[in-house]
């Protein structure tokens, strides 16, 4: 998994031109109160919030800060969870489902606070538009909008009807949509690196190139082992997402690493950019295998979609994504693609996030299932609250029950590939059955 992962990073547009000074790798033995495994948004936010509470914190990152999903993502910051709120209501009682929704909305507000408080310049733009491809999508999205307004008092969503959709997205593929002005988009690598710097300013120590290989119990608590060092600590926060490794098999059984991809065009002219997405919002469609796109600060179209349930990074994905982009925006048929990259999603069986404790003093968050940009930040704050002894808000998500992926380590991928063929077919038949 790791080799193919490294080769794709070189083409990640976000990483190009990064001015972040590297952090040292761990050498020798150190002791802290809390050791955080993983330097993505969840791990950096946990480290920041713990350090602000006065804990001595070390972050161990296998590669570099933001190397995982956080530094490769579509940059779309949304409320809610991947499985959707109606599905979450089937998994939690009404009061907890409400608390979970409110926490995800708080996650968006927290992002704004963190950017302002720690002076994180990450190209934030307000606005996310969810678009409908056909009537079935329209019925579903409209019902969701009304449900969120009625049951959750969420009034940030504005219905964009057929007469107005062209004012927001210049594509004939979409018939209508819902615009959320509280949501938006940002440069996810700059944001993650900003969180790491804020954590360091608050007193945390960050180590890069320091992959954790195992965890063992000690008289004081826990010891985490890397190739060249060890960290002794009272508490552990596991935020390694899909690439944590097989030393925590009980976590690994609950998620499947799914490859997903992005392409970036060359910078577009002001007029062309304006024509594609006139109000510079982030856009995603309602298909099971979604297309999502937005403009970067230098006016590239960043277009994501496609998933590989084989867990690989086949070279043809850039071409497949390009075709999807051209279907949405035929005027880009000759525009050069300058970058393409992939990353791992950590999906759970029910697509709800997976938080909890493995043993006393060992906390984890994972399973954001492709919807973690805002949620991983608040997850870090909830982890810090839990370590400090206030468990209630962390437990809203920790109460969600999760099944193992069926089929065991060998059969689970083929089983999922089969299931996904059905969803792809459903997407392509969507317009016929609506």
Ligand X SMILES: Cc1cc2nc3c(=O)[nH]c(=O)nc-3n(C[C@H](O)[C@H](O)[C@H](O)COP(=O)(O)OP(=O)(O)OC[C@H]3O[C@@H](n4cnc5c(N)ncnc54)[C@H](O)[C@@H]3O)c2cc1C
Residues at the interface with ligand X (CB under 6 A): 37-43, 60-63, 67-70, 72-76, 78, 211-212, 239-241, 243-245, 260, 262, 292, 304, 343-345, 368, 370-373, 376
Q: Of 171 and 348, which has the nearer Cβ to ligand X?
A: 348
User: Which of 65/407 has CB closer to ligand X?
Assistant: 65
**Shortest Å distance, C-beta 401 to ligand X:** 20
Tokens for 271? 């007029």
The smaller minimum CB distance to ligand X, of residues 171 and 241, is found at: 241
Q: State in angstroms the smallest separation of the CB of 388 from ligand X.
A: 20
Q: Please, what is the minimum distance in Å from the beta carbon of residue 417 to ligand X?
A: 19
Task: Please list, in sequence order, all residues whose beta carbon lies within 8 angstroms of the beta carbon of residue 381, skipping any fewer than 6 positions away.
Answer: 45, 46, 49, 110
DSSP state of 40: S
How far apart are the C-alpha atoms of 74 and 14, rounded to whole Å? 10
For residues 354 and 400, give the distance between their C-alpha atoms in angstroms, rounded to a whole number.
7
Residue 15 C-beta: closest distance to ligand X, Å? 12
Number of residues assigned to the chain = 434
- Burial status of residue 219 (CB atoms within 10 A of its CB: 0-12, 13-18, 19 or more): exposed
φ, ψ at 414 (rounded to 5°):
-55, -40
- What letter does residue 196 receive in the DSSP assignment? H
Cβ(18)–Cβ(187) under 8 Å? no
3-state secondary structure 334-391: CCCEEEEEEEEEEEECCCCCEEEEEECCEEEEECCCCCCHHHHHHHHHHHHHHHCCCC
Task: Find the shortest distance in angstroms from Cβ 196 to ligand X.
Answer: 10
Residue (202 or 378) nearer to ligand X, CB: 378
As a whole number of Å, the end-to-end CA separation of the chain is 39
User: Least distance (Å) from ligand X to the CB of residue 253?
Assistant: 16
Select 28 or 389, whichever has its Cβ closest to ligand X.
28
Distance in Å, CB of 433 to ligand X, minimum: 28
Beta strands 255-265 and 337-348 are antiparallel
What is the chain's Cα-based Rg?
A: 21
CB 284 within 8 A of CB 82: no
Q: Which of 430, 427, 288, 414 lies closest to 351 in space, CA to CA? A: 288
With residue 31 as reference, give the H or E element that holds it. strand 28-31
- Which two tokens mark 227? 């190739």
CB 42 within 8 A of CB 73: no
């Amino acid at each position: 998994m790791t080799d193919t992962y490294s080769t794709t990073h070189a083409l990640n547009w976000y990483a190009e031109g990064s001015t972040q000074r590297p952090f040292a790798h761990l050498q020798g033995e150190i002791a802290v109160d809390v050791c955080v495994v993983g330097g993505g948004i969840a791990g950096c936010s946990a480290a920041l919030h713990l350090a602000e509470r006065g804990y001595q914190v070390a972050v161990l990152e296998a590669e570099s800060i933001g190397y995982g999903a956080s530094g490769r993502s579509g940059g779309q910051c949304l409320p809610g969870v991947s499985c959707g709120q109606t599905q979450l209501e089937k998994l939690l009682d009404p009061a907890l489902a409400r608390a979970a929704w409110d926490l995800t909305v708080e996650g968006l507000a927290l992002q704004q606070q963190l950017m302002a408080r720690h002076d994180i310049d990450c190209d934030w733009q307000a606005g996310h538009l969810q678009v409908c491809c056909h009537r079935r999508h329209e019925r579903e999205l409209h019902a969701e909008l009304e449900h969120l307004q009625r049951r959750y008092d969420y009034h940030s969503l504005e219905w964009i009807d057929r007469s107005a959709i062209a004012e927001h997205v210049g594509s004939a593929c979409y018939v209508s949509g819902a615009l959320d002005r509280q949501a938006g988009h940002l440069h996810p690598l700059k944001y993650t690196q900003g969180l790491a710097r804020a954590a360091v300013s608050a007193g945390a120590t960050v180590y890069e190139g320091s992959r954790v290989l195992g965890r063992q119990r000690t008289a004081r608590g826990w010891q985490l082992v890397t190739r060249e060092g060890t960290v002794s600590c009272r508490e552990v926060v596991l935020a390694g997402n899909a690439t944590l490794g097989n030393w925590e098999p009980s976590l690994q059984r609950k998620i499947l690493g799914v490859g997903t991809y992005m392409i970036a065009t060359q910078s577009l002219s002001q007029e062309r950019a304006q024509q594609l997405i006139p109000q510079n919002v982030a856009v995603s469609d309602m298909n099971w295998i979604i297309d999502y796109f937005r403009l970067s600060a230098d006016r590239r179209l960043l277009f994501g979609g496609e998933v590989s349930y084989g867990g690989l990074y086949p070279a043809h994905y850039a071409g497949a994504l390009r075709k999807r982009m051209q279907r949405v925006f035929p005027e880009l048929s000759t525009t050069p693609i300058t970058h393409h990259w992939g990353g791992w999603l950590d999906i759970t069986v029910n697509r709800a996030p997976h938080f909890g404790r493995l043993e006393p003093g060992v906390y984890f968050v994972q399973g954001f299932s492709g919807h973690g940009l805002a949620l991983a930040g608040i997850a870090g704050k909830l982890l810090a609250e839990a370590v400090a002894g206030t468990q209630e808000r962390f437990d809203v998500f920790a109460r969600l029950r999760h099944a193992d992926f069926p089929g065991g380590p060998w059969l689970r991928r083929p089983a999922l590939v089969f299931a996904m063929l059905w969803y792809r077919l459903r997407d392509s038949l969507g317009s016929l059955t609506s």
